[in-house]
Copies of this chain bind each other. A is one copy, B any other.
Amino acid sequence: MTALRVAVIGAKGRMGAEACRAVEAADGLELVAQVDQGDALEALVAAGTQVVVDFTHPGVVMGNLEFCVRNGINAVVGTSGFTPDRLDAIRGWLAEQPSVGVLIAPNFGIGAVLMMQFAAKAARFYESVEIVELHHPNKVDAPSGTARRTAELVAEARAAADLPAMPDATTDDPDGARGAKVDGIPVHAVRLRGLVAHQEVLLGDAGEMLTIRHDSFDRTSFMPGVILGVRKVGSVPGLTLGLEHFLDLG
């Protein structure tokens, strides 16, 4: 079998370098180009790239994507900053290249994505749900983006199932702790030296609790999701938002 020809843009960045290593280590993938600031994108075409991995930044990613789509190169994108206008522009380019696929994902951690999807699927069966996220103490924002997104998905699922507000008799809670109520879902934020990135979703009903927890110990945990995206993006034309759509969760 011929190896899939893969290039990485932003190859010298922290995530890009990790992606280069992961592509090189993966069966059936060949790393044919590494592009970073100052390199010409034409190198991608010269190398016969079939799939690009983009871990760059919002200032350059649109140019990268326009070049790739117009040249028939599929793309797996971990860069952030996609507004609705930007997504429309990408859809426009893709309309002219109907065989090209682009995957944009805010989170390539398969475990984190599974946690969010499972929490959303379980939510309509439970009277109560709260989220506890735990991170290293150098994190500046609380709650985490993953926790906010989980809460939004859970809240959507509860609304779709016409669930009432959660039971909560609290009348005396004068101070507040780190965290937030996101779309009605309490999210608690723990910051502890020694931790990396962890989250648990607690779902409770009479006599039982379901807990879905994800522990991320290391940045390498994002690479299986990137590789999965690289393998699959060529067979899913058009724009896909979120790794969950590639996981065949049914």
Contact = CB atoms under 8 A, between A and B. Distances in A.
A235 interface: no
Interface residues of A, number: 75
B211 A212 contact: yes
Contact of A178 (B111, B170, B202): B170
B192 A209 contact: yes
A193 interface: yes
B220 A207 contact: yes
Contacts of A122: 111, 114, 118
Given A130-B190, A195-B204, A210 B125 contact: no
A180 interface: yes
Contacts of A138: 167, 169
B132 A190 contact: yes
One complex includes copies of this chain to the number of 4
A144 to B, nearest CB: 11
Interface string A124-165: 011111101010011111100000000000000000000000
Nearest to A173: B142
Contact of A132 (B140, B173, B188): B188
Interface string A207-250: 11111111111111101100000000000000000000001011
21 contacts: A111-B205, A121-B250, A126-B193, A137-B167, A140-B171, A141-B173, A142-B170, A174-B180, A178-B188, A186-B190, A188-B190, A194-B206, A205-B224, A206-B221, A206-B224, A207-B219, A207-B220, A207-B221, A210-B213, A211-B212, A211-B215
Given A111-B209, A142-B172, 20 more contacts: A114-B122, A125-B224, A128-B191, A128-B192, A128-B193, A130-B191, A130-B192, A137-B169, A140-B170, A140-B172, A177-B181, A188-B188, A194-B206, A194-B207, A194-B208, A196-B217, A200-B211, A208-B216, A210-B215, A249-B250
